[in-house]
Structure 1
Amino acid sequence: MSESPITRMAEATPQPLARKVRGLSDRAIAWIFVAPTIFLLLAVNIFPLIWTINLSFTNFKANRPNREVEYIGLRNYERILTDSDIWLSMQATAHFLFWTIFFQVLIGFTLAWLINKKFKGNDLWTTIIVLPMMLSPAVVGNFWTFLYQPQIGLFNYVVAFFTGADPSSFEMLGSVQLAPWAIVIVDTWMWTPFVMLICLAGLRSIPDYIYEAAEIDRASKWRQFWTITVPMVMPFLMLAVLFRGIENFKMFDLVVQLTGGGPGSTTELASINLKREAFEKWRTGYSSAFAIILFVTVFGLASIYVKALNKVKDR
């Protein structure tokens, strides 16, 4: 009978090393395996965060590395919190967050509820619906830019069909009023399938016997929906909102692909404003303070939300 690979490896291990390994506790061996991951996390995440906090208290500019760095205390934070352009970008971000999450949850849950009925061709339609989230933001941005073109955009002709107006008169991406909604439509189209999949997992986790018991008690379909389906899917819905909220708060690539961050301040989200301060104006210390404010905002809101999510799960 041939020896197993593990046995051959044990026999090939030098005796001094084998004696040292045998002398280690399980806790020590666990730390040996975990240590490289912890080191990478410290190098990739923790160190840049600490360095950014340090730069936020200075007037450092990355395009002038030889310039003497001066520590200016909380002056960068004061300028940010009193800058009207910053607050306009935060308002644009809040508008984008609210409407994208609202439409994605509404449409995603509806699609999940329909697909959960297990009709003929269920798997095919699920695959087709999921396709948009498999595309990169660059591809989606270019694709929808063509759809929004005044002369050849298919979307403009659809709008003109329902309104009876000239399709060439629509300037979705060039309009201050319509550009934010154009971005909301694209993000909803791309990421609704993600919310749908999470809601579908929640719907399929509900045991059938609960609905059977409700039918025995003569509960209507509407009452079953509000007293069984919605409460049991709610933790999954809240989880989807958490994921999409964090991702959309730092949305950058899709907006730049569609509008370049303009026009004006209507589509200049906080992440785009941060990029402009850091890599166009080269105000590294100022942008570092802005990044810390955004990080604290996201972390704080996410922590509060997670506590609410845990309360819902414990019910």
Structure 2
Amino acid sequence: MTDTPIDRMTRATPRSVARRVRGLSDRAIAWLFVAPTIFLLLAINIFPLIWTVRLSFTNFAANRPGREVEWVGLRNYERILTSDGIWSNMQTTAHFLIWTITLQVVIGFTLAWLINRKFKGNDLLTTLIVLPMMLSPAVVGNFWTFLYQPQIGLFNYMVELLTGTPASSFSMLGAGGLAKWSIIIVDTWMWTPFVMLICLAGLRSIPDYIYEAAEVDRASKWRQFWTITVPMVLPFLMLAVLFRGIENFKMFDMVVLLTGGGPGNETLLASIDLKREAFEKWRTGYSSAYAIILFVTVFGLASIYVKALNKVKER
């Protein structure tokens, strides 16, 4: 008989341990292996959250650890929720979310629908479209900063050809309502392939016999699209919106790389404002309350959205 690795491991296990393991149920053994990972996740995620909640009720400042910490109760939350600047930042964040998600969904679904119609060079085209998603935000930020430069930016010369505005006097990263659109363009360029892949998975999960039955019933291509394609891809589309919404709500790196959080408050998203409060003004207690409010906002909206997603799946 062949001596397998499992047999050798069994012989190497101490008898006392072997007896205890034999007395455990399958569920107990499963928990025995899963428990260390769960404990680690709780330690990494739950403890910082509880500590942040505690700090949000104080005036603690991280740059002055020796100062006596004063308990301020709900004062930080009250100041945040009554601040006009905070609500302005939330409106800027909402504007960024709505436009990026809308563009990514429309363009991503269109690309997925076109690629799903198999043709020569399909695989090569898919690979080229997915390339931006594979790049790091640092590379993308530096690349597009070059394109947006007033003197040498290729993007500016394209605008000059279309509008007649001199390239040297035009800057997408400057003031005039264009800085936020520069970020929207870059984020759409980078993450539309992600939405496309999810939509493509949804399109390819639709059985061919459904379309064949619709053709037998003499349904037009337009009617097949709205009664078969859209309803069956909708759960995948909503899942993509959920992922991109959560990620874009906490957008930070791309904004800093492109605009540094400026000019003015035009691109001052809530995440950028939180960073300034925490690591520039060192208002740790205040910024902790700010973080909790943002967390509750994202968690609440995501919970409502997931319930809607589940209802769509049940149809």
TM-score by length of 2: 0.99
1:174-224 superposed Cα distances (whole Å, 9 cap, x missing partner): 124100000000000000000000000000000111111111111111111
1:43-85 superposed Cα distances (whole Å, 9 cap, x missing partner): 1000000000000000000001111111110000000011111
Q: Distance in 1 between matches of 2:175 and 2:142?
A: 18
User: What pairs up with 1:254-273 in 2 under 5 angstroms?
Assistant: 254-273=254-273
Are the equivalent residues in 2 in contact too, given 1:92–1:268 (CA < 8 A)?
yes
User: What pairs up with 1:144-163 in 2 under 5 angstroms?
Assistant: 144-163=144-163
Are the equivalent residues in 2 in contact too, given 1:176–1:263 (CA < 8 A)?
no
Q: CA deviation at 1:25?
A: 2.0
Q: Distance in 1 between matches of 2:27 and 2:115?
A: 47
Letter in 2 for 1:142: N
Q: Which residue of 2 aligns with 1:53?
A: 53
Q: Distance in 2 between matches of 1:128 and 1:27?
A: 46
Query: How many correspondences in the alignment?
Result: 315
Letter in 2 for 1:175: A
Q: Which residue of 2 aligns with 1:92?
A: 92
User: What pairs up with 1:1-315 in 2 under 5 angstroms?
Assistant: 1-315=1-315
Q: CA deviation at 1:86?
A: 0.9
Percent same amino acid at aligned positions?
83
Query: Structure 1: which 5+ runs fail to align?
Result: none
SS in 2 for 1:63: coil
Q: Distance in 2 between matches of 1:60 and 1:298?
A: 25
Q: Distance in 1 between matches of 2:44 and 2:50?
A: 11
Q: Distance in 1 between matches of 2:114 and 2:104?
A: 15
Letter in 2 for 1:223: R
Q: Distance in 1 between matches of 2:14 and 2:273?
A: 58
Q: Distance in 1 between matches of 2:300 and 2:74?
A: 20
Q: Distance in 2 between matches of 1:176 and 1:264?
A: 11
Moved more, 250-259 or 166-175: 166-175
Q: Distance in 1 between matches of 2:82 and 2:302?
A: 25
Note the aligned Cα RMSD (angstroms).
0.7
1:97-118 superposed Cα distances (whole Å, 9 cap, x missing partner): 0000000000000000000001
Moved more, 9-18 or 101-110: 9-18
Q: CA deviation at 1:27?
A: 2.3
Q: Distance in 2 between matches of 1:176 and 1:302?
A: 33
Query: Structure 2: which 5+ runs fail to align?
Result: none
Are the equivalent residues in 2 in contact too, given 1:176–1:264 (CA < 8 A)?
no
Moved more, 26-35 or 287-296: 26-35
Letter in 1 for 2:113: W
Q: CA deviation at 1:303?
A: 0.3
1:1-38 superposed Cα distances (whole Å, 9 cap, x missing partner): 32111111001111111112112222221221111111
TM-score by length of 1: 0.99
